[in-house]
Structure 1
Amino acid sequence: MARERRRPTSSAADEPGSVPERLDQAVLREQPTLTALDVAAETGVTIDQVRRLWRALGFPEMATERAFGESDATAVSTLMTLVDSGVIEFDMAVNMTRGIGQTMSRLADWEVATLAGRVEELEAGEDATGSRVGSALRLIEEMSGPFEEMLVYAWRRHLAAAVARMEAMGAEREDLHTVDVTVGFADLVSFTALSNQIDRDELGDLVEKFEARCHDVVSVHGGRIIKSLGDSVLFVISDPTAAIAVAEGIINVIGRDARMPDVRVGLASGAVVPRLGDVFGPPVNMAARLTTVARRNRLIIDQTTADLLPSDEFEWRRLPARPVRGFGLVEPVAVRRR
């Protein structure tokens, strides 16, 4: 049964304006008229629960400010209906909210940065509105509906892929809290020094090109980008042979391009713990550490990955042991195709 919401009475001063003049109100399609206490009263939850969910989304805590609208109250009510029905516990709802917040925050930043150039183009064209705000408002109006549909579509496709991975994993192991994967870490060489030599726009273009090319290579081979940190990309893939192909592809599209910095790639295999879209475990740390060992435009792997590769396709050799932070002395492995 849906949670019943109680609507607070409001004065004329609380009524939203007829036309939103701010960009954030154009996006939200409403003016903020409710405090956190109002949201709690409408939805029948405690103020502490409202604040936990708001923080989990990634926003600073609001006390008495009128920072919320009816859509915020509806979202809380919808989520708490799942909790009340026993489908999920509240702590799980907070964790899911945190995952959504982290994902959507990065997506929103990317979208705004990408569309900023389009706003400039619109304002410089024949259909200029006379202000950047006007062009931005028009772009928001034209894009919001189709982009929201694409978000739901992409979420469903990725959910289906994640379920398929879970099914395949569950057929082989009892512990569904860990997965056996090959973790890859690709790192641009001398990125800090380079960032001090080029202007901000060039740096942004370089980072975007690096991330986009790595994403395309990883996706083609059935892997998944976990996160990118500007000068590095972390990915996972279930097949170590495919991981080698990914590493070779990244080196080819990044390191062999004279317009891009050199790149180093490390691979390590083993059990990791998926959590909120991220992965944790020794293979993650090992893959990152191996990039400090690799030469420019070269791939270095750990012994576990080497042991998983088909001997008729690859040959490998151990490199001299060297100290690796967190692992002591490690013998990295160089690999090549036969």
Structure 2
Amino acid sequence: MAPDPSEQPEQPGSTKRAGERLDEAILRSKPRFNALEVAAESGVTIEETRRLWRALGFPEFSGEKAYTAADVEAVSTLMSFVDAGAVDFDTAVNLTRGVGQTMARLADWEVSTLVTRVEEMAAGDEANSSRVHSALQLINEVNPPFERLVVYAWRRHLAAAVGRIEAMGAKDEDLHTIDVTVGFADLVSFTALSNTLDRNEIGDLVEVFEARCQDVVARFGGRIIKSLGDSVLFVTNTAEESVGVAEGIINVIGRDAKMPDVRLGLASGPVILRLGDIFGPPVNMAARLTQVARRNRLIVDQNTADLLPVEEWEHRRLPARPVRGFGLVEPVAVRRR
């Protein structure tokens, strides 16, 4: 019996072939169409096809056959609910952009997480003399259940997002506007510290910071809007929940001798919810407050302080100081009675 090519060691110059094998294992089909053929097969214009493809975050391929049957099906599926009148084309492009950006980050996250496992398989007892073979094996084992997990998680988060519109007090006249408390947590002197660490140590530090923040935010029913390596932006329904998050982050980050100190700022008020992000004065204020907060301390704006029950919380006004974009601001330090 002829040996399975996938089990043969990689040969010099076989990089393209290895890449093709990985592509086929992931995409489950070979490229058969060019852009014009995708448009013809799905019944849309070439410009609509290009807009959807760019919205997914991929570069355009001119005349080469770079598209699969799954690409044709995806375009057809999108256009089916446009044709049915559920949404217009611009809304479909907007949703596609969200999918593209979210899936791009998830894919990068998955690859960076699993690459260590691939190296272990290729070098250890499970070695088959080829990292490509190990990657193919891992893809076959992980991707089917991971795809089911992605769909499940999307459904759960969609249900939660719909619920938040009501729970966070969306304005009847504008469902994009919600009242929340915004929190910003920022590692102290991260830039200087990162200059003393190697790449693996920086990656481990950021991973621990983000993971611990995620755990604390979820515990109090909040949501991380974005993480920027050395900082995390989160929201909660109430000011008390955000203070609980802030105290939790100080406990798991600031009081860990192996981690940098952390500064936290909270601000409350209406924000605009768009494209999975939030915008508005509370977002900017929370970020600015971290610049004047002391290490492992929490300061809040007056709106947040006013929302905390006075019988449970002590408020102490701090000296007014200039805050970029807001002029002179009197931050408030809070602590439990």
Which AA in structure 2 matches 1:304? N
Cα deviation per residue 1:203-228 (whole Å; 9 max; x = unaligned)?
A: 10110110000000000000001110
Which AA in structure 1 matches 2:319? P
Aligned 8 A contact 2:170 2:176 in 1:
no
Q: Gapped runs of 5+ residues in structure 2?
A: 1-17
Cα deviation per residue 1:209-252 (whole Å; 9 max; x = unaligned)?
A: 10000000000000001110000001111111010000000011
Partners in 2 of 1:125 and 1:169 — Cα distance?
A: 51
Q: How many residues align?
A: 320
Q: Where do 1:163-182 residues align within 5 Å?
A: 163-169=162-168, 173-182=172-181
* Aligned twin of 1:330: 329
Cα deviation per residue 1:89-124 (whole Å; 9 max; x = unaligned)?
A: 111111111111111111111110000111111112
CA pair 232-318 structure 1, distance change in 2 beyond 3 A:
same
Aligned 8 A contact 1:20 1:26 in 2:
no
Identity of aligned residues (%): 73
* Aligned twin of 2:152: 153
TM-score, with length taken from structure 2: 0.92
* Aligned twin of 2:196: 197
Q: Displacement of 1:300 after TM fit?
A: 1.1
Aligned 8 A contact 2:170 2:177 in 1:
no
Partners in 2 of 1:82 and 1:248 — Cα distance?
A: 46
Partners in 2 of 1:205 and 1:220 — Cα distance?
A: 23
CA pair 57-122 structure 1, distance change in 2 beyond 3 A:
same
Which AA in structure 2 matches 1:307? D
Q: Displacement of 1:183 after TM fit?
A: 0.6
CA pair 101-171 structure 1, distance change in 2 beyond 3 A:
closer
Partners in 2 of 1:284 and 1:170 — Cα distance?
A: 17
Partners in 2 of 1:173 and 1:106 — Cα distance?
A: 33
* Aligned twin of 1:295: 294
Partners in 2 of 1:117 and 1:125 — Cα distance?
A: 12
Q: Gapped runs of 5+ residues in structure 1?
A: 1-18
CA pair 31-270 structure 1, distance change in 2 beyond 3 A:
same
Cα deviation per residue 1:233-274 (whole Å; 9 max; x = unaligned)?
A: 011111110100000000110111111111111111111111
CA pair 45-287 structure 1, distance change in 2 beyond 3 A:
same
* Aligned twin of 1:67: 66
Aligned 8 A contact 2:36 2:46 in 1:
yes
Q: Where do 1:13-52 residues align within 5 Å?
A: 21-52=20-51
Instruction: Compute the RMSD of aligned alpha carbons.
Output: 1.5
Aligned 8 A contact 1:20 1:30 in 2:
no
Partners in 1 of 2:176 and 2:160 — Cα distance?
A: 17
Aligned 8 A contact 2:168 2:237 in 1:
no
CA pair 311-173 structure 1, distance change in 2 beyond 3 A:
farther
Which AA in structure 2 matches 1:198? L
Aligned 8 A contact 1:129 1:135 in 2:
yes
Aligned 8 A contact 2:56 2:97 in 1:
yes
1:109 and 2:101 matched: no
Q: Displacement of 1:170 after TM fit?
A: 6.2
Q: Displacement of 1:131 after TM fit?
A: 1.2
